[in-house]
Amino acid sequence: MDGGGGGTSAEPEPVTVRLAAVETATTMARIDLRDSIAPHRSNRQRKSTLPPSSATAAAMSAMKFCRECNNILYPKEGKDRRALLYACRNCEHQEVADNNCVYRNEVHHAAAERTQVLQDVAADPTLPRNKDVRCAACGHGEAVFFQATARGEEGMTLFFVCCNLSCATGGADVPSRYLRPEAVADAVAVAGEDQIPIIDYQRLLLDHGEESARLHRVCQDWGFFQLINHSVPDDVVEGMKANIQQFFQFPAEVKKQFTQERGQLEGYGQLFVVSEDQKLDWADMLYLYTQPPEDRNLRFWPDQPANFKSTLDKYSAAVKDITDTLLATMAQNLGLEPEVIADTCVGGIQSVRMNYYPPCAQADKVVGFSPHSDSDLLTLVLQVNHVQGLQIKRNGSWFPVKPLEGAFVVNVGDILEIFTNGRYKSIEHRAVVDPKEERLSVAAFHSPHIHAMIGPLKEIVVHEDEAYKTVDHEDFMKLFFSAKLEGKSFLDRMKLKSS
């Protein structure tokens, strides 16, 4: 089942309904057989590329007129003389062309200011759409387009308006469903404070003394750590990053083939969309069940990029392997036989959630991923690009995590807190959004098998009271979803009153 803040989706419309402008100015005149197509340029460069100077435009559009009757001369093939002629359609006059260029189409590409574009144009259902363009400002892959005369320019201008709302509006119009005033109110710990602890996986394997003792303390004090020197091969990690970046760049119609089914989590969409008036996270996700392999529903696994499935397969196995090792070490640290936890993980459930957080010009008014704790045993998060956004609740304020290149951010989930009767802490965390750049992450959630009982391990509570209820895994998930849907703290529901 799900780890983390997973949920149901009544209307899993992806968040990518925001926009920016890409403008293409098309000036028609006489063809020079070599069309000139200027590459995309930034706003700053734009002034020098758009529009063509009036002198150039005039030269390109110069027309010839009949010296007998003053009507327009049209280009015509002169078969006898094997030459290009200009002929009058009113009288018999014709003359040999002094230049073989009869038509020239100049296309200037430039990211433009939105001087004339109405803000809701991207939502206009009557306008044609194009999915072969990519917005220079936000990377979004869908635009509406229309033709109009641009002020002070000759010829027609073809306007492309990005369908990414926050992009085109400069963030002025973040839809109200995404506005989260509470996000602004919450204090964020000042930069310069300690970072979350680092655990070296190789040292953990080699010496079961110092590093594993540190791991034990970290799980009690922080509930979060970065795992370096882990065993997932670089090519698998890099392959995973590349695949997921490519997937989220596909046009909406490609991604929508994998859309979640109503009331289900798996697939492409958003989390916990249950009603029209509900606040939404500024994120899209692709959520897949990956282990045990027989639980995979390949209908939701993208078939492009071409090696997506094989990469995720390798990634899933490698990450599960690390998780099993970490859990065995933790069990020993808790004074248990390693099998006590490991046995619950034979046939254990792993799901992978790939998170895409588009940039938002009003980043401090939206939330990428609402505060939550993960409902699993252990989560391993891979940061896909350099943009940070994960924050954990520590000493009452939000503590920004700075992921190390190639490391996993690992966190204790609710089930591990319950198994350990509260010794290990499942920490609330959230993701914030960057004003300019997209952010991507891949979270792998690990839970016991579906028949496991979820409650304090009996070996742990020999001499103490149980602080949490014991329920079977299916009831646990039902409780998780109902708490989530009612916006209640899930762990509080699992706590026994006396604790």
Ligand X SMILES: O=C(O)CCC(=O)C(=O)O
Q: Of 265 and 467, which has the nearer Cβ to ligand X?
A: 265
Q: Measure the CA–CA gap between 433 and 467, rounded to whole angstroms.
A: 36
Interactions with ligand X, residue window 220-239 (CB under 6 A): none
What is the residue whose two structure tokens read 């706003």?
43
Output the CA–CA distances (angstroms, integers) from residue 242 to 45, 98, 300, 429, in the order listed.
Answer: 30, 54, 19, 26
Q: How long a stretch of residues is the chain?
A: 499
Q: How far is residue 106 CA from its own chain's centroid?
A: 35
What are the b/e assignments for 288-317, b being 16+ CB within 10 Å? bbbbeeebbeeebbbeebeebbebbbbbbe
Query: Minimum Å distance from CB 184 to ligand X?
Result: 20
Interface pick for ligand X out of 369, 399, 419, 468 (rule CB under 6 A): 369
Distance of closest approach, residue 272 Cβ to Fe ion, in angstroms: 13
Q: Which of residues 341-360 bind ligand X (CB under 6 A)?
A: 353, 355
Minimum Å gap between C-beta 270 and ligand X is 12
CA-wise closest residue to 290 among 240, 344, 356, 255: 240
DSSP 3-state of 81? coil
Q: Between residues 281 and 374, which has the closer beta carbon with respect to Fe ion?
A: 374
Q: How far is the CB of 303 from Fe ion (least distance, A)?
A: 28
- In angstroms, what is the minimal distance from the CB of 271 to ligand X? 9
Residue 390 binds to ligand X (criterion: CB under 6 A): yes
**Is 25 an interacting residue with respect to ligand X (CB under 6 A)?**
no
Chain positions contacting Fe ion, by CB under 5 A: 4, 374
Q: Which two tokens stand for residue 314?
A: 């390798």
Choosing among ligand X, Fe ion, none, which partner's interface includes residue 390 (Cβ < 5 to 8 Å by kind)? ligand X
Rounded to the nearest 10 degrees, the angle between the axes of helix 308-333 and helix 234-249 is 130
Q: Looking at beta carbons only, is 208 or 436 nearer to ligand X?
A: 436
Task: State in angstroms the smallest separation of the CB of 107 from ligand X.
Answer: 39
355 makes contact, choosing from Fe ion, ligand X, none, with CB < 5 to 8 Å by partner type, with ligand X
- In the bound state with ligand X, the residue whose beta carbon lies nearer, of 345 and 381, is 381
- Residues touching ligand X, count (CB under 6 A): 12
Q: If we measure between CA atoms, which residue out of 378, 396, 389, 363 comes closest to residue 443?
A: 378
d(CA 7, CA 491): 16
Answer with the entry of Fe ion, ligand X, none that 441 interacts with (C-beta below 5 to 8 A by kind): ligand X
Binding mask 441-460 for ligand X (x = CB under 6 A): x-x-----------------
Least distance (Å) between residue 373 CB and Fe ion = 7
Cα separation, 47 vs 44, in Å, equals 7
CA distance 273 to 265: 10
Quote the CA–CA distance of 159 and 146 in Å, as a whole number: 5
Percent composition of the chain: helix, strand, coil (DSSP 3-state, to 5): 30, 25, 45
Nearer to ligand X, 281 or 466 (CB): 281
**To 5 degrees, how large is the angle CA 291–CA 292–CA 295?**
90
Residue 431 binds: one of ligand X, Fe ion, none (C-beta under 5 to 8 A by kind): ligand X
* Interacting partner of 267 out of ligand X, Fe ion, none (Cβ under 5 to 8 A depending on kind): none
User: Residue 374 CB, nearest distance to Fe ion (Å)?
Assistant: 4
Q: How far apart are CA 474 and CA 425, in angstroms?
A: 22
Cα–chain center distance at 201: 28
Secondary structure tally for the chain: helices H, strands E = 13, 23
| Minimum CB distance to Fe ion smaller for 334 or for 444 | 444
Q: How far is the CB of 371 from ligand X (least distance, A)?
A: 10
Among 162, 273, 330, 381, binds ligand X (CB under 6 A): 381
Q: CA 406, CA 71: separation in Å to the nearest integer?
A: 71
Give just the sign of the alpha carbon dihedral 30, 32, 38, 44: negative
Which residues inside 414-443 make contact with ligand X, applying CB under 6 A? 429, 431, 441, 443
Nearer to ligand X, 174 or 283 (CB): 283
Asked if residue 374 binds ligand X (CB under 6 A), the reply is yes
Please state the closest distance from residue 168 (CB atom) to ligand X, in A: 25
Residue closer to ligand X, measured from CB, 429 or 446: 429
Smaller CB separation from ligand X, 355 or 420: 355
Residue selected from 1, 4, 329, 351 as contacting ligand X according to rule CB under 6 A: 4
Binding residues (CB under 6 A) for ligand X: these are 4-5, 353, 355, 369, 374, 381, 390, 429, 431, 441, 443
